[in-house]
Amino acid sequence: MPAGALQGLHVKTYPEFWRRYLSAHADPRTRGMHYLGTTLALLALAAAAAGHDWRWLLAAAVVGYGSAWLGHLVFERNKPETFGHPGWSLISDLRMLALFLSGRLGDELRKGPKS
């Protein structure tokens, strides 16, 4: 599936968005930047909760979005899905990380854009 092949198409349902999201993350390096950013953001959120320090919330946003957006800029050369559907994008970031950690992401990527 070409990088960003489905970008620019309007989606109405989360399953449509998920296919587009995966298309926009075709390069494994971009996905790696997402995994790094999502993991660091979750750790920062845990630090915010444990330490009752709101500055960790800011750090979570900076490392989470910063690394993901850098991956899109450098490797995919496309616009992050966050801008069009922020809620679905966050859910998809977590879903992609969970699928990667469980070894099931490859199956999702092989389904292609119309599954």
For 47, the 3-state DSSP assignment is helix
Q: Is residue 2 part of a domain?
A: no
Identify the domain containing residue 20 by its residue range.
Answer: 14-110
| Residue whose tokens read 């490797």 | 75
Distance of alpha carbon 22 from alpha carbon 65, whole angstroms: 17
pLDDT at 3: 42
* pLDDT tens, the chain, 115 aa long: 444 444 555 889 999 999 999 999 999 999 999 999 999 999 999 999 999 999 999 999 999 999 999 999 999 999 888 888 999 999 999 999 999 999 999 999 999 776 5
- How would you class 40 by CB atoms within 10 Å of its CB: exposed for 0-12, middle for 13-18, buried for 19 or more? middle
12: phi then psi, degrees, rounded to nearest 5: -115, -20
CB 34 within 8 A of CB 96: yes
Q: Is residue 9 part of a domain?
A: no
In a domain, 6, yes or no: no
Structural domains in the chain (count): 1
